[in-house]
Amino acid sequence: MTFNEIINSDKPVLVDFSAEWCGPCKMMAPILKDVKKELGDAVTIIKVDVDQSPQAAQAYQVQGVPTLIIFKNRKPLWRQSGVVSKAGLVDVLKKFTI
């Protein structure tokens, strides 16, 4: 499945734009795992390495990592750069799953 096919879903897709060398990105990994555990199939979470997929990062003007963007039906609905708490992410995602 391509990136565009994944974000063209009618359920929210949380894209984590990150990089291997990024300390805060490593902090996001367990948080995203917990969010997935809590929300299950209501949301899709994917990780995009900006070094391996610079075109995806460029397309959405990702300047810093981590940058989280929530897509639904290919539209970016929410974005934030930096580490986001599990509770904060769950709250935001729940708004888009109803």
Residues catalogued as catalytic: 22, 25
For residue 95, give Cα distances in angstroms to 13, 52, 78: 13, 31, 11
Q: Which residue matches tokens 């039906």? A: 73
Tokens standing for residue 64? 């810093």
For residue 81, give Cα distances in angstroms to 63, 70, 71: 9, 12, 15
